[in-house]
């Protein structure tokens, strides 16, 4: 412990007063208890989803499964006995998230480039006006959104949902890229201009090679938000065959025909892709999260 407390280099573990050691012990106890609280729902999801149907009972919901079973996952994924499987919705979500994320990244990167390196009169005000779009409650645009999408033939289609996510993703992706490019020295851009490089040359040869971390942050952010999103999916895909996973899960959890162990397995299926991203790329996820609070 003395090693990890660099501000007190002169003290040794054994030299520390007892009260300090008790304090540390208490600190760890509280932190472990809190970690247990955070993991409690995951524990319940896991032990329930891996039970077979004969063992599932609300009054024994905290008992561990006596044998490992994938029955619940099979039902949640493939459906049957009144339950609609999530396989189709999972595919829909992938088909939605991938193009929406790619387009969002490209748009955000270009916007960020212009708003950080090609500022013009009013560009800061324009940026603020764009940012407002990420704070609005989407209820305030739902009515005309449905009308407009219907009139251009995109209502109840996947492209319509992609378009919606791309448009309402513009503020956050622009914000992250703008703050990211603001840290690229303007001298690099000026040097490029002196060498006769044009708008696109500078973007391709100077900004883009430095952009990989920015793209990762924005891609992870958009992937996670769109995968987890519910309201647009609910409103725009009123056709059951087009549902994204979150809407499918909500439907499953509201259904009287679907046993709760199947709902738990469904919840795990929905959570796994973004959890994997979080586990392997958590650092970038955190950066996107903090970028959302404006200060870059």
Residue 189 CB, shortest distance to another protein, in Å, is 10
For residue 193, the Cα-to-chain-centroid distance in whole angstroms is 38
The phi-psi region of residue 115 (left if phi > 0; otherwise alpha if psi is between -120 and 50; otherwise beta) is alpha
Asked whether position 151 contacts another protein by CB under 8 A, the answer is no
By CB under 8 A, name the one of 180, 227, 232, 284 that touches another protein.
227
Distance CA 285, CA 219 (A): 9
Stretch that binds another protein, among 64-72, 151-159, 207-215, 253-261 (CB under 8 A): 253-261
Site for another protein in 20-49 (CB under 8 A): 27-28, 30-31, 34-35, 37-42, 44-45, 48
Asked whether position 176 contacts another protein by CB under 8 A, the answer is no
For residue 176, the Cα-to-chain-centroid distance in whole angstroms is 15
x-or-dash pattern for another protein, window 50-89, by CB under 8 A?
Answer: --------xx-xx---------------------------
Q: Which of 96, 75, 97, 98 is nearest to 87 (CA)?
A: 75
Distance CA 274, CA 292 (A): 18
Asked whether position 120 contacts another protein by CB under 8 A, the answer is yes
Residue number with CB closer to another protein (158 or 262): 262
Which runs of E-coded beta strand occur in 192-277? none
By CB under 8 A, name the one of 47, 95, 126, 208 that touches another protein.
126
Q: Which tokens in the block code for residue 285?
A: 């996820």
Distance CA 182, CA 199 (A): 16
Query: What is the size of the binding site for another protein (CB under 8 A)?
Result: 96
Distance CA 92, CA 76 (A): 16
Distance CA 239, CA 156 (A): 6
By CB under 8 A, name the one of 47, 94, 95, 141 that touches another protein.
141
Stretch that binds another protein, among 65-73, 82-90, 207-215, 229-237 (CB under 8 A): 229-237
Residue number with CB closer to another protein (128 or 256): 128
By CB under 8 A, name the one of 76, 96, 115, 176 that touches another protein.
115
């Amino acid at each position: 412990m003395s090693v990890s407390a660099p501000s007190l280099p002169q003290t040794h573990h054994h030299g520390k007063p007892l009260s300090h050691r008790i304090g540390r012990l208490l600190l760890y106890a509280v932190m472990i208890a809190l970690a247990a609280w955070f993991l409690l729902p995951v524990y319940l999801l896991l032990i329930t989803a891996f039970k077979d149907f004969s063992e599932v009972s609300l009054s024994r919901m905290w008992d561990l499964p006596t044998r490992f079973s994938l029955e619940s996952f099979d039902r949640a994924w493939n459906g049957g006995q009144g339950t609609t499987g999530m396989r189709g919705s999972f595919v829909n979500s992938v088909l939605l998230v991938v193009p929406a994320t790619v387009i969002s990244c490209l748009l955000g990167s270009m916007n960020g480039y212009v708003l950080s390196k090609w500022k013009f009169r009013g560009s800061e005000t324009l940026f603020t006006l764009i940012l407002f779009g990420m704070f609005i409650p989407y209820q305030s645009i739902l009515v005309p959104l449905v009308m407009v999408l219907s009139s251009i033939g995109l209502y109840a289609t996947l492209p319509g949902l992609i378009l919606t996510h791309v448009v309402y993703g513009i503020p956050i992706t622009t914000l992250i890229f703008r703050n990211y490019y603001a840290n690229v020295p303007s001298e690099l851009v000026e040097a490029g201009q002196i060498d006769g490089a044009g708008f696109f040359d500078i973007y391709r040869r100077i900004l883009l090679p430095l952009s990989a971390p920015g793209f990762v942050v924005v891609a992870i952010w958009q992937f996670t938000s769109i995968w987890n999103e519910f309201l647009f999916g609910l409103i725009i895909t009123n056709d059951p065959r087009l549902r994204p996973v979150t809407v499918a899960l909500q439907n499953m959890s509201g259904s009287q025909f679907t046993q709760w162990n199947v709902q738990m397995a469904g919840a795990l299926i929905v959570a796994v892709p973004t959890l994997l991203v979080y586990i392997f790329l958590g650092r970038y996820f955190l950066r996107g999260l903090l970028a959302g609070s404006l200060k870059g």
